[in-house]
């Protein structure tokens, strides 16, 4: 067996025919080093949004199964085009849809989870000396219906295929040259990290770092698959390596600061304070496949309580409907929503050995008169929900306070 | 079982969201009459050309398998959108790709032939009260690869599905209100026919009448499936019924006149006049899946001969290459091509009982000083290859000479 690399190119990287040709040349060069290559592609930039806009013109809530058929078509186009481009420069290639690469998922349309990758056909194609070009983002369920893996799902396709084929590494090509300590558009002193641990990257991805999909990192972590993020627009981009934590190195206390604007809060007032009531809401939301992030429960008087929680902004309407229906049943007093919030998070493996990080974050925000609405923490993360308008300010002051303006040890 | 109608909507009919919504309403109305419906859709107008243009930017000759993956994506988009539109107005629908409707084809990518329609899933969906929306133009081969049925293949999808499901009729909705005696843009007196026989329609379709794909008519003829062409843009379009010949009716001698501009001529000069030589060329062309239309062979001197034949204009480059390669082997003197030709054809079931039709056609063209380059005939058709620039003139004079300017008996 040759060495095998799985590469994924995002929408900007395959955004037009010129770029597709450039990528084909890049792949053909790597192929000359006797490396087997599987390439996963996203839809051409803008295509998925165009399809979504058409669906929205028809109906506010399109059927998920149709949505998957609709949205999966974009990746099939870029997949076929890249395969043609490779062949046209003498690099034998074969295009494969999610079904053809054997990517089997569960039945959760629009956010399907991968159950298995049946690699038979892929292995045969690699043995035949072909570069495999895969339509990302999509799989197939037990009924033979097309499913999609959620926005950014091509990253996950790439990771799952890399793991299934025991690739040497999984490379994610995008329009930025790696993972940054903070959004460089907000923090001028933000800088690219050379290395991030899986755990840190998982936290960052779940916090809205769009550079990598959460489940992609999760897959790579679970199977210890080296994951590299780099730019397809720059030659010799070094990128950021996401790998196991390296205990021999000095860890920075905070590696990254994120501002997740994709947050909305729902508050249910006057909920009877009885066992099992709160669980009704969250079971109802889970049944609709809605993810709840932070949850706070306050006792407002002896018999009633208020429950607040956050969901993704895109799901606020669906979630509100579920909560309103259940709220009527249990006679809740009122239900309010707030979409003008954001979640500021600091992430760093170094937090484990440095107490007081959360306190330092709270006091920093407080000094700027930024009110903290909700708090959640993990072993290597502290997150605060604040008013959306303070988001950029919060990121800048935290970046400075945690000494991230200077280049860090591991970068 | 309810009555079942298969409808097919072309690219213009699903050209934008407004039209898709209109079609959904039309289908929902028919559904209220307790009629089961399968709807086959083409790609939105312009989409297939856009995809083709991208492929051409990459490579002059894209791999056929990739081409099929690429081109089939357009129909999947319109299929998903129409299914959503139906659901959004309370008409339960299910989208199906070529694979899901069970349309199995051979392995001839870009011009696959249907081997079988496995109707299990479709029958179940109809029993569940769902309108089935099918992505036309595509099927799947034994390897699980997407195949397409050739340009206009959605008509064939519809016919094959209508036959397999034993539909009452197959309706083809397009942007014209039926089949005309000649192109109304060329002949102001051309008029729509109410009825055409399968055989006449087969001749017209193979002659470049774009209103129906040949294989669609062939399917319907073989299984005696009533086929109706009508406009989706006009309410209550009566259309043209394509059905068995009705011997009780007076047949017009000529029903339709066609001008097929999609013709190109290849001439091989100085071919050794030995048995088996001509067959070498035509076997070579057939091996590349290239269809040859007319063939003429002239003996130029005792040991050598010239062979001329026509192919589709789009295939002239591919065909010329095949002929050149073989021409070198057999030491042919020269190979020339001519793309400035067209094929004028008159079609009519009434020709069977009226001798002298061909002679009348030749003398009419001759009176206009139009040179006839090649001739071919069938029982109900006479075709002449002439210079392309005389095409419109020829159609107009023939339309007049064969008394078609007045409305015919069967229209």
CB contact under 8 A, A17 and B95: no
List the one residue out of A380, A342, A382, A371 whose CA is nearest residue A260. A342
Classify residue A209: in a domain, yes or no: no
Can you give the pLDDT at residue B37?
98
Kindly provide the ipTM of the predicted complex, given to two decimals. 0.79
Residue with tokens 């490379």: A171
What is residue B327's three-state secondary structure? helix
Alpha helices in B114-263 (DSSP H): 120-127, 153-164, 198-206, 214-222
- Mean pLDDT score of chain B, rounded to an integer? 91
Please give the average per-residue pLDDT across A29-51, as a whole number. Answer: 95
Tally of domains in chain B: 1
Residue with tokens 């001969």: B305
Which secondary-structure segment (H or E) carries B286?
A: helix B277-287
Q: For B211-360, where are the E strands, in sequence order?
A: 227-231, 240-243, 256-260, 263-272, 292-299, 304-312, 334-338, 341-347
Any bridge partners for residue B271, and if so which? Answer: B305
Q: How confident is the model at residue A410 (pLDDT cuts 50, 70, 90)?
A: very low
Can you give the pLDDT at residue B409?
42
Can you give the pLDDT at residue A154?
96
Best to test chain A binding among B77, B88, B140 (most A CBs inside 10 Å): B77
> Tens digits of per-residue pLDDT, A322-344?
999 998 888 888 999 999 999 99
Please give the average per-residue pLDDT across A358-377, as a whole number. Answer: 93
Measured CA to CA, the distance from residue B207 to residue B227 in angstroms comes to 19
Can you give the pLDDT at residue B206?
81
Measured CA to CA, the distance from residue B293 to residue B60 in angstroms comes to 24
Alpha helices in A330-390 (DSSP H): 357-367
- Identify whether the C-beta of residue B378 lies closer than 8 Å to the C-beta of residue B161: no
- Identify whether the C-beta of residue A217 lies closer than 8 Å to the C-beta of residue A227: yes
Which residue in chain B has the smallest CA separation from A87?
A: B63
Please give the average per-residue pLDDT across A165-187, as a whole number. Answer: 93
- Identify whether the C-beta of residue A312 lies closer than 8 Å to the C-beta of residue A229: no
Classify residue B250: in a domain, yes or no: no
CB of A28 less than 8 A from some CB of B: no
* A359 pLDDT above the threshold of 70: yes
Burial class (CB in 10 A: 0-12, 13-18, 19+), A332: buried
For residues B338 and B331, which has the higher predicted lDDT (pLDDT)?
B338
- Identify whether the C-beta of residue B159 lies closer than 8 Å to the C-beta of residue B151: no
Measured CA to CA, the distance from residue A363 to residue A382 in angstroms comes to 13
Please give the average per-residue pLDDT across A44-49, as a whole number. Answer: 93
Classify residue A118: in a domain, yes or no: yes
* B251 pLDDT above the threshold of 80: no
Which secondary-structure segment (H or E) carries A266?
A: strand A263-272
Provide the CATH number for the domain around residue B128.
Answer: 3.40.1160.10
Q: For B176-286, where are the E strands, in sequence order?
A: 179-180, 192-193, 195-197, 227-231, 240-243, 256-260, 263-272
Q: Find the CB nearest A81 among B70, B83, B144.
A: B70
Classify residue A199: in a domain, yes or no: no
Q: How confident is the model at residue B28 (pLDDT cuts 50, 70, 90)?
A: very high
Classify residue B17: in a domain, yes or no: yes
For residues B353 and A223, which has the higher predicted lDDT (pLDDT)?
A223
Longest Cα–Cα distance in chain B: 76
CB contact under 8 A, A100 and B144: yes
* A92 pLDDT above the threshold of 70: yes
Show Cβ contacts of residue A47 under 8 Å, excluding neighbours closer than 6 positions. Answer: A11, A74, A77, A78
Measured CA to CA, the distance from residue A5 to residue A36 in angstroms comes to 6
CB of B77 less than 8 A from some CB of A: yes
Q: For B274-380, where are the E strands, in sequence order?
A: 292-299, 304-312, 334-338, 341-347, 374-378
Enumerate the residues of chain A whose CB falls inside 8 A of the CB of residue B84.
55, 58-59, 62-63, 66-67, 70
Measured CA to CA, the distance from residue A84 to residue A72 in angstroms comes to 19
Classify residue B84: in a domain, yes or no: yes
CB contact under 8 A, B99 and A144: yes
Can you give the pLDDT at residue B247?
67
* A188 pLDDT above the threshold of 70: yes
* B300 pLDDT above the threshold of 70: no
Can you give the pLDDT at residue B248?
59
For residues A355 and A91, which has the higher predicted lDDT (pLDDT)?
A91
The 8 Å CB, 24+ separation contacts for B327-330 are B327/B268, B330/B271, B330/B272, B330/B277, B330/B280
* Strand A169-174 relative to strand A227-231, pairing: parallel
* B408 pLDDT above the threshold of 60: no
* A89 pLDDT above the threshold of 90: yes
Taking the CA of residue A219 as centre, how many other CA atoms within 13 Å lie in the half-sphere pointing to its CB?
27
Enumerate the residues of chain B whose CB falls inside 8 A of the CB of residue A76.
69-70, 72-73, 76
Can you give the pLDDT at residue A36?
97
Classify residue B65: in a domain, yes or no: yes
* A404 pLDDT above the threshold of 60: yes
CB contact under 8 A, A63 and B54: no
CB contact under 8 A, B72 and A76: yes
Measured CA to CA, the distance from residue A380 to residue B261 in angstroms comes to 71
Measured CA to CA, the distance from residue B170 to residue B160 in angstroms comes to 10
Q: How confident is the model at residue A406 (pLDDT cuts 50, 70, 90)?
A: confident
Q: Give chain A's length.
A: 411
> Tens digits of per-residue pLDDT, A93-146?
999 999 999 999 999 999 899 999 999 999 999 999 999 999 999 999 999 999
Q: Find the CB nearest A80 among B69, B81, B97.
A: B69
Nearest-Cα distance to chain B for A64, in Å, is: 9
Measured CA to CA, the distance from residue A49 to residue B205 in angstroms comes to 39
How does A213-251 read in b/e, with b if 16+ C-beta sit within 10 Å?
bbbbbbbbbeeebbbbbbbbbeeebebbbbbebeeeeeb
Q: Count Cβ atoms below 10 Å from residue B30 Cβ, excluding itself.
A: 18
SS3 content of chain A, % helix, strand, coil (to 5): 35, 30, 35
- Identify whether the C-beta of residue B252 lies closer than 8 Å to the C-beta of residue B409: yes
Q: Domain range spanning residue A12?
A: 3-175
Please give the average per-residue pLDDT across A263-289, as a whole number. Answer: 88
Measured CA to CA, the distance from residue B160 to residue B158 in angstroms comes to 6
CB of B146 less than 8 A from some CB of A: yes
Classify residue B291: in a domain, yes or no: no
Enumerate the residues of chain A whose CB falls inside 8 A of the CB of residue B142.
none
Can you give the pLDDT at residue A303?
79
Can you give the pLDDT at residue A248?
59
Q: How confident is the model at residue A48 (pLDDT cuts 50, 70, 90)?
A: very high
Which residue in chain B has the smallest CA separation from A143?
A: B100
Measured CA to CA, the distance from residue B200 to residue B243 in angstroms comes to 10
Enumerate the residues of chain B whose CB falls inside 8 A of the CB of residue A104.
none
Can you give the pLDDT at residue B410?
45
Percent with pLDDT over 70 in chain B: 95
* A260 pLDDT above the threshold of 80: yes
Question: What is the separation of C-alpha A152 from the centre of its chain, rounded to a whole number of angstroms?
Answer: 6
Please give the average per-residue pLDDT across B123-151, as a whole number. Answer: 96
CB of A17 less than 8 A from some CB of B: yes
Enumerate the residues of chain A whose CB falls inside 8 A of the CB of residue B145.
100
* B12 pLDDT above the threshold of 60: yes
Q: How confident is the model at residue A401 (pLDDT cuts 50, 70, 90)?
A: very high
- Identify whether the C-beta of residue A156 lies closer than 8 Å to the C-beta of residue A117: no
């Amino acid at each position: 067996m040759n060495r095998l690399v799985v590469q994924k190119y995002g929408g900007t990287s395959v955004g037009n025919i010129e770029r597709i040709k450039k990528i084909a040349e890049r792949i053909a060069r790597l192929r000359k080093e006797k490396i087997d290559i599987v390439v996963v592609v996203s839809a051409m930039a803008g295509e998925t949004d165009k399809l979504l806009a058409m669906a929205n013109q028809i109906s506010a809530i399109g059927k998920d199964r149709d949505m998957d058929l609709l949205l999966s078509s974009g990746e099939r186009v870029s997949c076929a085009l890249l395969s043609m481009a490779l062949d046209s420069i003498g690099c034998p290639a074969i295009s494969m849809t999610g079904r053809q690469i054997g990517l089997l998922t569960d039945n959760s349309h629009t956010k399907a989870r991968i159950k298995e990758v049946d690699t038979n056909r892929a292995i045969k194609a690699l043995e035949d000396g072909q570069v495999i070009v895969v339509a990302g983002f999509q799989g197939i369920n037990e009924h033979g219906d097309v499913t999609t893996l959620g926005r950014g799902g091509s990253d996950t396709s790439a990771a799952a295929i890399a793991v299934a084929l025991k690739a040497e590494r999984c490379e994610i090509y995008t329009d930025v040259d790696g993972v940054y300590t903070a959004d460089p558009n907000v923090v001028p002193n933000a800088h690219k990290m050379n290395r991030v641990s899986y755990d840190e990257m998982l936290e960052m991805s779940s916090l809205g770092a769009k550079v990598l999909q959460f489940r992609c990192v999760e897959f790579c972590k679970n199977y210890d698959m080296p994951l590299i993020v780099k730019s397809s627009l720059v030659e010799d981009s070094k990128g950021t390596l996401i790998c196991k934590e390296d205990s021999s190195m000095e860890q920075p206390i905070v590696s990254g600061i994120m501002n997740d604007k994709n947050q909305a809060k729902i508050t249910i007032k006057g909920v009877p304070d009885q066992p099992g009531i709160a669980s009704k809401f969250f079971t109802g939301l889970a049944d609709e496949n809605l993810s709840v992030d932070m949850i706070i429960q306050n006792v407002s008087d002896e018999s009633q309580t208020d429950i607040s929680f956050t969901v993704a902004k895109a799901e606020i309407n669906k979630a509100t409907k579920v909560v309103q229906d259940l709220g009527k049943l249990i006679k809740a007093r009122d239900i309010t929503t707030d979409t003008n919030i954001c979640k500021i998070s600091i992430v760093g493996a170094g937090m484990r050995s440095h107490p007081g990080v959360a306190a330092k974050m709270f006091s920093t925000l407080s000094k700027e008169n930024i009110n903290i609405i909700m708090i959640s923490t993990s072993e290597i993360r502290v997150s605060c929900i604040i008013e959306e308008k303070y988001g950029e300010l919060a990121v800048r002051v935290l970046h400075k306070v945690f000494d991230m303006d200077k280049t860090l040890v591991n970068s």
